[in-house]
Chains A and B, each alone.
Chain A
Amino acid sequence: EVQLVESGGGLVQPGRSLKLSCAASGFTFSNYYMAWVRQAPKKGLEWVATISTSGSRTYYPDSVKGRFTISRDNAKSSLYLQMNSLKSEDTATYYCARHRAENGYFDYWGQGVMVTVSS
């Protein structure tokens, strides 16, 4: 059974940093692209970042480019999201997702972790 379990969320002040983690199990982690998707309270879904199988390629929308960094540790079956210079508009539930890049969709999602950026 595929499982994705996020951790590391919480309350953080604007301008500070936070690092999210996602522990994967039930599949060969190193064979899949992985991604982060977020959802602001009562809002829709927004793709945040994608990383290739080896970690050599990363992709971001303009809204987080230069502030967020996605990374992975295939030996630990873990995905990370380093978030710097956080803004109030980054407040959201962050989901880790397995990214089927060959067809451009996310097939499994974690339960999500809440990040609140507020002073």
Chain B
Amino acid sequence: DIQMTQSPASLSASLEEIVTITCQASQDIGNWLAWYQQKPGKSPQLLIYGATSLADGVPSRFSGSRSGTQYSLKISRLQVEDPGIYYCLQGYSAPLTFGSGTKLEIK
């Protein structure tokens, strides 16, 4: 199974700050990587797919990048509506696996 190691587990940042969350894949998954945001009591919302493509309706302050088997989600200017838990997902091979999540809070 492909393991997705996500870091940090939690993060506290100030408004307008740049935030970066990373996922390390245990093997090559190409661009088969997606990012999700989940708010309390809600279902996950797609942010990024194909490692770098922005999902419809997602603000442009969110972006995804890849360096080898390391994937990053960047929020360029943290906004008040951005707190939540962020997950990565590898869709390269079954079993599909998620990262363990990053809890993002406003400082």
Contacts and interface: CB of A to CB of B under 8 A. Distances in A.
B46 interface: yes
Chain B interface size, under 10 / 10 to 19 / 20 to 34 / 35 or more: 20 to 34
B72 interface: no
Contact of A45 (B50, B55, B98): B98
Chain A interface size, under 10 / 10 to 19 / 20 to 34 / 35 or more: 20 to 34
Contacts of A50: 94, 96
Contacts, number: 61
B32 A103 contact: yes
Interface of B: 31-32, 34, 36, 42-46, 49-50, 55, 87, 89-92, 94-101
A104 interface: yes
Nearest to A101: B91
A105 B34 CA distance: 6
